[in-house]
């Protein structure tokens, strides 16, 4: 007799039920959703953290400026997401609120790592309690902690890792292959943007266009989140 598939047994109907081999199938499905999302890259350079995302404009008549894939969370923190972007927007709004409450309470900016832990606690809670599905989104948070640029990746399980450079989304494996070969610790911001654009161009092939990119950075010198327009991107990659 053939073994019964997990789905037939109903182990994927709730995130609170473990399958016989110890898996939470709803959480695994959420991670697969991220793999279908647009590609986003985070990179720590010399004194700067960069976030680059593919907008993947679905229609010719969409105004590119209206599509936002890199978000400002606080004065010194930015984020980009891949997966279900509506889930990402809710979590980014929550992160903004947490950062603002910390500023009002302690009169100081919140560390990026502390903020990431709070968001991951929320993500983990949605894998543990019934009545709600896991967040189908991974988020890259880039910011300045102790005058140094930092980059964190959060996934649907509520786990987070700190990276020097990484990618999420549909082309993450192709992009990571290039980052692993060419990333260096002492890259300037311009060199970092060039590498991110090169990696995305290689992954997207003939579909690549500069207008598809959403690019922002936070510098350790002034701890200010700044977004680049298409002319700034062209200057950076010359």
Q: What is the DSSP letter of 134?
A: P
Name the region of 46 (left: φ>0; alpha: ψ -120 to 50; beta: rest): beta
| Residue 19 host element (H or E) | none
Secondary structure of residue 71 in the 3-state scheme: strand
| Residue 42 host element (H or E) | strand 40-45
Secondary structure of residue 151 in the 3-state scheme: strand
Residue 77's Cβ-side half-sphere holds a number of Cα atoms within 13 Å equal to 26
Whole-angstrom Cα distance, residue 183 to residue 192?
Answer: 8
Whole-angstrom Cα distance, residue 108 to residue 118?
Answer: 17
How many residues make up the chain in this entry? 238
For residue 77, what are its two tokens?
A: 């923190």
Describe the crossing of helices 172-182 and 189-204 by its angle, rounded to 10 degrees.
140
Which residues form the catalytic set?
Answer: 38
CB neighbours (10 Å) of residue 199? 26
């Amino acid at each position: 007799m053939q073994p019964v598939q997990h789905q037939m047994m109903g182990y994927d109907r709730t995130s609170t039920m473990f399958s016989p081999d110890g898996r939470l199938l709803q959480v695994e499905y959420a991670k697969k959703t991220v793999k279908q999302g647009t590609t986003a890259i985070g990179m720590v350079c010399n004194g700067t953290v960069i976030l680059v995302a593919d907008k993947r404009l679905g229609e010719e008549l969409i105004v590119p400026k209206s599509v936002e894939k890199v978000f400002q969370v606080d004065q010194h923190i930015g984020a980009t997401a891949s997966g279900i972007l509506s889930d990402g927007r809710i979590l980014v709004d929550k992160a903004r609120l947490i950062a603002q409450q910390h500023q009002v309470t302690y009169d100081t900016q919140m560390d990026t790592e502390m903020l990431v832990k709070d968001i991951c606690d929320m993500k983990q809670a949605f894998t543990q309690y019934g009545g709600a599905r896991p967040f189908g989104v991974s988020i890259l948070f880039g910011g300045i902690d102790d005058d140094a640029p930092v980059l964190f990746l959060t996934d649907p399980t509520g786990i987070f890792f700190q990276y020097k450079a990484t990618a999420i989304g549909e082309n993450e494996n192709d992009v990571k292959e290039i980052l692993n070969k060419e990333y260096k610790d002492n890259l300037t911001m311009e060199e970092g943007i060039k590498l991110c654009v090169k990696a995305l161009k290689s992954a997207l092939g003939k579909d690549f266009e500069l207008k598809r990119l959403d690019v922002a950075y936070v510098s350790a010198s002034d701890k200010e989140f700044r977004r680049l327009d298409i002319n700034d991107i062209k200057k950076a990659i010359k």
